[in-house]
Chains A and B, each alone.
Chain A
Amino acid sequence: MKILSARQGRNPIRELSTPATAIVLGIVVFVISLYADYYWMMILRDALVFGIFALSLDYLWGRTGLLSFGHATFFGIGAYAVAILSTNFDIANITLLALLAGILASGLVALLFGYFLLFAGVRGPYFTIMTLALTVIASHIAVAWVDVTGGDSGITGVQPLSLTLGDFEFVIFAPQTGLYVALALLLILLLVIWKVATSRYGRLLKALEVNELRARTLGYNTPLHLVGTFTISAMIAALAGGLYASFAGYVAPDLIGLLLSTKVIVWVAVGGRGTLIGPVLGAVFVMQIERELSSINTSLWPLFIGLFFIAMVFLFPNGLVGLVQDLSGKMSKNQKKGGTESA
């Protein structure tokens, strides 16, 4: 009981800080964008897109405790849908339509996958392993179905996002425009997910992680809520993937494979699972380190991720943000002296 109340006391504070942090993030990115050159504009834009991707995983993993080891599948479905449709059809607004199609397709895959597994009671490690199998198969298809996906070399010449209504035309071509679109979408998603997370429904999702059986006993159709969360998370991931493809102008199999799936786990873990804004910052921060390290030697990065996973498990199981919180918590507890025991 004590442990539970301690947890409930801490979480809302962490979640409440999201709107303020999001506004600060928005202002900081905007100010940087005024001074950044073309190259940094692109880097910042991609970082924000991957921030959306990290947010999608945190909505699933951070809320319900279900870990997807194959989230790049959904990112990749979004990216490939935009690439394939926009290079094959020449009609107005095709990229925008393709983005929506990708989001729907991704949601459908997640819905079917989730329906069969989650309603069968597949949870925890089994669910994680099945998502791993999903991403391996998805990347096989991306590599081997050369006629459609371009195989290893991928697809180039992806059309930029544009909106044409009569005489009105808006094309997202310059990195700066892409940056603002990504920033706006990221902030909207952050606020909406934060709103959901702090609502009654958010508490239910949290209850699914803490004790699903109890939630079911209270009359909630728990598999349904898990499938719903998984599907929404997959659709957000596809949005990020579609944006990435339309901004970058090309797609390749590394957008759908296991390595990207594990990268996004690192971003969320570094930023702090369940903190929403943390994973976004984690994505920006870790990608910058990756760029620095890869400029020294490209084979260093997988080694670094590997070591990070092992170090995380043994040294800081709650992520870097959790580590900082634990340390500061310990210090303040020592100051107060005789604080309550907590887990």
Chain B
Amino acid sequence: MTITSLVPSVMNALTLISVLMLVAMGLGIIFGMMRVINLAHGEFVTIGAFTLSVLQELGGSYWLALMVAPIIGALAGLLVERLIVQHLYTRWLATILATWGLSLIIAQILQIIFGAGPQSVSAPISGTMDILGASYPAYRVFIVLFSAAVLGLVLLMFSRSNFGLDIRTVIQDRDMAEALGIDTKRVFSKAFMLGAALAALAGVLVGPLAVVIAQMGVNYLAKSFFVVIVGGAGSFWGIGAGSAFVGGLETVFTYQMPVTLAQALVLALGIIVLRFRPQGIVPHANIKW
């Protein structure tokens, strides 16, 4: 097997992994901080994709959507956090039920407004480009490079900025963070908005590849939660490991079998991994269930 023949599968895997990382990052961080499970997270992806569709319908460009969608996502995140999540910090079951209700409402409202059929979206770049002798769709290359850049910024923010330090402190020990004068709720609020913005950004990126319908969010929700649980909540590298596990294996299996069977197999393997590493592939010292 030559390098050239490996290029498409490696690039397919990287596309899936980078999208999963963008979506799961918010989930993993907010779970790490406050043990909050937000089942409306998938709707941020949907909102991103619909922003792209609406803007293109109005004559706007893809690049405009790429800038606007994270802002809309962050605002939606702020609303969700203020109206619902903030009041339920200590009650995980209540949070699950309330955010699930919200998810149904958002998806249904989008369907009433835009109809049940798939929305039309188009990629900004068409054609293929040459990678190590293999030709590969240029738009997918863009997804990988752009996500890598965004994720690089997120990592830099976590490890270098004051905001990142605050987030890491809250994840490590919330009570101690409060004792040190960190406004944990405010930090959480901001982290929640950041997670929503990243998911909306992912929505724009996958829009041209996916079927953009009101119910698209739930697939990303289930998959990215799976990423968080298998990889380990609360750290950048946990999310990275989980995304690599889910995205990598799914791509490899898809070459051998139908995609649904591949997904089922990845789920089964993930469950087996959890038997031996219950805290995920990259366990965080302070996060246990």
Residues of A within 8 A of B (CB): 67, 69, 113, 115-117, 119-126, 128-130, 132-134, 136-137, 140-141, 143-145, 258, 262, 265, 269, 299, 302-303, 305-310, 312-314, 317
Contact = CB atoms under 8 A, between A and B. Distances in A.
A113 B264 CA distance: 12
Nearest to B263: A137
B63 to A, nearest CB: 32
30 contacts: A116-B272, A121-B278, A121-B289, A124-B92, A125-B37, A125-B92, A125-B96, A125-B289, A129-B37, A129-B225, A129-B226, A130-B271, A132-B221, A136-B219, A137-B260, A137-B264, A140-B263, A145-B258, A258-B218, A299-B111, A299-B112, A303-B108, A306-B102, A309-B97, A309-B100, A310-B98, A312-B97, A313-B95, A313-B98, A314-B87
Closest 7 CB pairs of A and B: A309-B101, A306-B104, A306-B105, A136-B222, A306-B101, A144-B260, A120-B278
Given A303-B104, A309-B97, 4 more contacts: A125-B37, A137-B267, A306-B100, A314-B98
Given A309-B100, A310-B102, A314-B98, A302 B108 contact: yes
Contacts of B107: 302
Contacts of B259: 144
Contacts of B87: 314
A137 B225 CA distance: 13
Contacts of A269: 97
B47 to A, nearest CB: 16
Interface string B85-129: 001100111111110111111011101100000000000000000
B260 A310 contact: no
Interface of B: 35, 37, 39, 84, 87-88, 91-98, 100-105, 107-109, 111-112, 218-219, 221-223, 225-226, 229, 258-261, 263-264, 267, 271-272, 274-276, 278, 289
A305 B101 contact: yes
Contacts of A258: 218
Contacts of A124: 92, 289
Contacts of B223: 133
Q: Chain A interface mostly helix, strand, loop or mixed?
A: helix
B94 A117 contact: no
Contacts of A116: 271-272, 274-275
Given A144-B258, A302-B104, A313-B94, A125 B35 contact: yes
B225 A133 contact: yes
Contacts of A125: 35, 37, 92-93, 96, 289
A120 B278 CA distance: 6
Contact of A132 (B84, B222, B275): B222
Contacts of A140: 260, 263-264
A140 B261 CA distance: 9
B270 to A, nearest CB: 8
A259 to B, nearest CB: 8
Contact of A119 (B97, B112, B226, B275): B275
Nearest to B222: A136
Given A121-B289, A303-B105, A310-B98, A141 B264 contact: yes
A307 B225 contact: no
A119 B276 CA distance: 10
A132 B275 CA distance: 18
A57 to B, nearest CB: 14
Contacts of B271: 113, 116-117, 130
Nearest to B40: A306
B105 A307 contact: yes
